[in-house]
Every structure is written in structure tokens, then in C-alpha cells.
């Protein structure tokens, strides 16, 4: 039976007791087949197991990348903590293209964060920038939702094996990212999604990006790992400013205080990229476009209610207090404003559009 060298690397990566660092050590000195033969005692596997694991990966359409190969991403060539082997669904050549920008953040964002992430994802992708993100719930997902099909191929960097989409809710998004670009992981198919794999994933995510942007994150959120990895590698870090009252903007606001560059539009990121040597046209961002003239509220009540609204969600109690209207009149006015596209209500809170 003749198996490619990659098959032995995959088999080694599938051994639970061999982590990324051990694997790097093993494969640093010997070719995979030799390393596998040497650790056979530890892994307890036979050539049949190697063949079985290899068949599993090829059946799933997972390509395996190793350092030194032409397909190996240039960014990882002299990375201090480069993975020893990479698994990829989709087109692996996407990993070698530039520029790439990581959009990361909390799994429990506000609608502001979701909107900004999706807009940045779409704008960057439209400008030819590959959006890198973790395919997690919240900001990560929103960024890729925006980026998928908007232009440049997206890159998803995930923690677990590529056979098992995590979180399950993003299985469809996961497929779309693989379709338009690539989903990569340093975990082989069949391994569990243990906790330690997430910080490791964040390190890989930063290493594959030219710029890291934090959209929304809590003070001690997981985005901190991505930012730390980016800083270690000299990768510029941007942050989207947010309300000082919002817990989900604590992270980016603190980063801004620490010297991260402010991101108010995709243009700001493109400027940071071109300073790094990339050359892309800077498009007029839709984020900060001047507002088109809108229909005006007509009746006096509607005017009063419209004036009392703000871009932040306001409770009906506050609106009732400010306008002095009763709940019935207030609800009527708000529905009229909503129909005119001047207000939006979600979960009983209202904000001006």
C-alpha cells in the first residue's frame, strides 16, 4: 500500500496525545512517515489506521497542506507558532492571496455590532480584501454573512475538525464560506472541539491576516487572544469605537486607548492595508454615506415622537415620559413612523433610523 507523506502527517495529527506543538517538533526533524514510524508505540496505530484516516479526509474533500509545499500560505512561512499541518475545505490557494483582514468579536453582540460587522465584511470583500473570521456566533458570523459572495473569497478559520461544523447553527454559513473561499483548521477530522483549540485557532486567525479588526468585544473576551497574537506578529490592530455605556464595546474602546487605529469605515482599514504595502482602491464606504433625504413625519404627534427618538434604543416608558403621550397614541405614532421608514422597533424598544 503506498500512501502519500501527508497521510502520515494526518494520522499523527489525529492522535489525541499529540498537540500542535508536539507535532511541530516531530515533523520539524523527520518526514511524516519516519516520524509516524518512530511514534507508533505511542499512537498504537497500524498502517491500516493511517489509510482509514487518510480515506476519511479525501472523501470529505479536505485538502491537507504542509510547510514547504507550494500551497503553504506565505504568511506562515516564518511564523513562530506555525501549524505543522493545515486542513482546508474549499480552495487552498485563497490562503496565499493578499490582502486579508480579520474581523473578530463577541459571540453576543448588539445590533450595532452585527450591522457594522456585516457592512465591513461586504465593503472589504467588495474592495477585493479577503475577510478572515472564526465562523463563531455573533460578530464572526455577521462578518462572513456580509463577505460571502460580495467579491473577494472569504476565509474561515475554525477550531475543530472540518467534518463537524461548530457551532451547528452556522453549518450553512460554513458551507457557503467553503464554496466562495476556504475554511481552514489545524485539527484533523474526527477530533473533538476542546476548549484549548479556540485560543489556538485565534492565533492562527491572526497569523493569516494582514490586519486584525475588533468590532465588538467584552473586556476579557476571546478577541483578546487574537489581538495579542497579532501584536506579537507586528500585525496592525484596528477597533470599531462604540458607546462607553455598552459592555460589548469595552474591548474595542480599550484597544483604541492602547493605540489601535480607529475603524469607522472599510476605508480606514484599506488605508491601514496600503500603509502595509497593499494597493487597493479606496471605495466610498456605505457606512458613513450621507443620509438620503427621507419622508418627513406629517402629524404633530408623529413629529413629537420622532423628535423624542434617538439612534440608541429607547424604551416606550422613556418615550411616554418625554412626549407626555399615552401608550396607545405613542404606539400608533411609532407604527406610522416605522411604515415611513423613520423608526424601527425591536423587542419593545424603538430607535430612529
Partner 1 sequence: MCDRSPDVLAAVASATLSGAVGRPVSVEVHVSNGLPGFTIVGLPDAAVREARDRVRAAILSSGLPWPMRRITANLAPSGVRKGGAGLDLPIAIGLLVAAGELSPDCTEGLAFCGELGLNGSLRHVPGMIALADASSPLGMVVPLCDVREAALVRGDDVHGAATLGDLTRILRGQSGWPEVPAQSVVPRVPSAPDLSDVRGQAVGRRALEVAAAGRHHLLMIGPPGSGKTMLAERLAGLLPPLPPADALTVTRIHSAAGCALPDGALLDRPPFRAPHHQASVVSLVGGGSWSLRPGEVSLASHGVLFLDELGEFPVAALEALRQPLEERVIRVSRAGGTVTFPAAFLLVAAMNPCPCGEGVYEGACTCTPASRARYRRRISAPLLDRFDLVVPLSRPDPDELLAGTPGEPSAAVAARVAAARARATARVAPGPASRPELASDAEALLATKLRSGDLSARGLHKVSRVARTVADLADEDMVSFAHVSEALFLRAGRAAVVA
Binding residues for partner 1 (CB under 8 A): 107-113, 137-138, 216, 218, 242-243, 245-249, 313, 315-318, 320-321, 326-329, 331-332, 334-336, 339, 345-349
**35/334 with CB nearer partner 1:** 334
3-state secondary structure of 314: strand
Handedness of CA 148, 151, 157, 162 (dihedral sign): positive
Smallest distance from partner 1 to CB 314, Å: 9
Smallest distance from partner 1 to CB 197, Å: 17
**H helical segments located in 19-110:** 20-29, 32-38, 40-43, 47-59
Smallest distance from partner 1 to CB 193, Å: 13
* 115-149 core/surface letters (b: 16 or more CB in 10 A; e: else): ebbbbbbbbbbbbbbbbbbbbbebbbbbbbbbbbe
Smallest distance from partner 1 to CB 302, Å: 12
Contacts of 65 by beta carbon, 8 Å cutoff, 6+ apart: 71, 72, 73, 85, 86, 87, 88, 92, 95
Which triple of cell numbers denotes residue 203?
492565533
d(CA 90, CA 183): 7
d(CA 247, CA 94): 35
Smallest distance from partner 1 to CB 288, Å: 21
**67/332 with CB nearer partner 1:** 332
The alpha carbon of residue 333 and the mean position of all alpha carbons in its chain are separated, in whole angstroms, by 39
**53/173 with CB nearer partner 1:** 173
**1/346 with CB nearer partner 1:** 346
Which triple of cell numbers denotes residue 353?
433610523
**137/303 with CB nearer partner 1:** 137
Smallest distance from partner 1 to CB 155, Å: 24
**48/195 with CB nearer partner 1:** 195
Smallest distance from partner 1 to CB 214, Å: 15
Smallest distance from partner 1 to CB 243, Å: 7
**193/246 with CB nearer partner 1:** 246
211 DSSP β-pair partners: 101
Smallest distance from partner 1 to CB 107, Å: 5
**154/313 with CB nearer partner 1:** 313
d(CA 129, CA 125): 5
Give which of 214, 193, 208 is closest to 120, Cα–Cα. 214
Smallest distance from partner 1 to CB 310, Å: 13
38 DSSP β-pair partners: none
Q: For the CA atoms of 125, 193, 196, 137, what is the dihedral angle to 10 degrees?
A: 40
d(CA 6, CA 53): 11
d(CA 4, CA 48): 14
Sheet holding 349-352, edge to edge: 314-315, 349-352, 343-346
**121/313 with CB nearer partner 1:** 313
Contacts of 48 by beta carbon, 8 Å cutoff, 6+ apart: none
**90/313 with CB nearer partner 1:** 313
Amino acid at each position: 500500500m503506498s500512501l502519500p507523506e501527508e497521510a502520515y502527517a494526518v494520522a499523527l495529527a489525529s492522535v489525541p496525545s499529540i498537540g500542535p506543538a508536539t507535532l511541530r517538533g516531530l515533523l520539524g526533524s523527520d518526514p511524516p512517515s519516519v516520524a509516524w514510524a518512530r511514534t507508533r508505540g505511542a499512537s498504537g496505530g497500524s498502517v491500516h489506521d493511517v489509510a482509514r484516516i487518510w480515506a476519511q479526509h479525501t472523501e470529505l474533500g479536505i485538502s491537507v497542506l504542509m510547510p514547504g509545499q507550494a500551497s503553504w500560505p506565505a504568511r506562515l512561512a516564518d511564523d513562530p507558532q506555525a501549524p505543522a499541518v493545515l486542513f482546508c475545505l474549499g480552495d487552498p490557494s485563497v490562503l496565499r492571496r493578499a490582502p486579508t483582514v480579520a474581523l473578530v468579536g463577541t459571540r453576543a453582540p448588539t445590533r450595532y455590532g452585527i450591522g457594522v460587522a456585516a457592512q465591513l465584511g461586504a465593503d472589504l470583500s467588495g474592495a477585493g480584501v479577503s475577510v478572515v473570521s472564526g465562523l463563531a456566533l455573533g460578530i464572526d458570523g455577521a462578518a462572513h454573512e456580509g463577505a460571502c459572495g460580495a467579491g473577494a473569497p472569504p476565509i474561515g478559520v475554525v477550531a475543530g475538525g472540518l467534518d463537524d461544523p461548530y457551532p451547528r447553527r452556522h453549518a450553512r454559513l460554513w458551507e457557503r464560506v467553503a464554496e466562495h473561499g476556504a475554511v481552514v483548521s489545524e485539527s484533523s477530522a474526527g477530533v473533538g472541539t476542546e476548549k484549548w483549540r479556540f485560543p489556538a485557532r485565534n492565533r492562527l486567525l491572526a497569523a493569516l491576516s494582514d490586519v486584525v479588526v475588533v468590532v465588538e468585544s467584552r473586556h476579557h473576551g476571546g478577541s483578546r487572544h487574537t489581538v495579542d497574537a497579532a501584536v506579537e506578529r507586528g500585525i496592525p490592530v484596528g477597533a470599531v469605537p462604540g458607546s462607553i455605556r455598552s459592555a460589548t464595546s469595552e474591548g474595542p474602546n480599550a484597544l483604541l486607548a492602547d493605540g489601535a487605529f480607529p475603524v469607522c469605515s472599510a476605508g480606514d482599514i484599506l488605508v491601514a492595508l496600503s500603509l502595509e504595502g497593499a494597493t487597493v482602491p479606496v471605495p466610498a464606504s456605505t457606512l458613513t454615506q450621507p443620509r438620503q433625504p427621507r419622508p418627513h413625519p406629517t402629524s404633530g404627534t408623529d413629529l413629537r415622537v420622532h423628535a423624542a427618538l434617538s439612534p440608541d434604543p429607547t424604551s416606550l416608558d422613556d418615550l411616554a415620559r418625554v412626549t407626555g403621550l399615552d401608550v396607545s397614541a405613542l404606539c400608533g405614532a411609532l407604527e406610522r413612523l416605522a411604515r415611513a421608514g423613520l423608526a424601527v422597533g425591536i423587542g419593545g424598544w424603538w430607535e430612529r433610523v
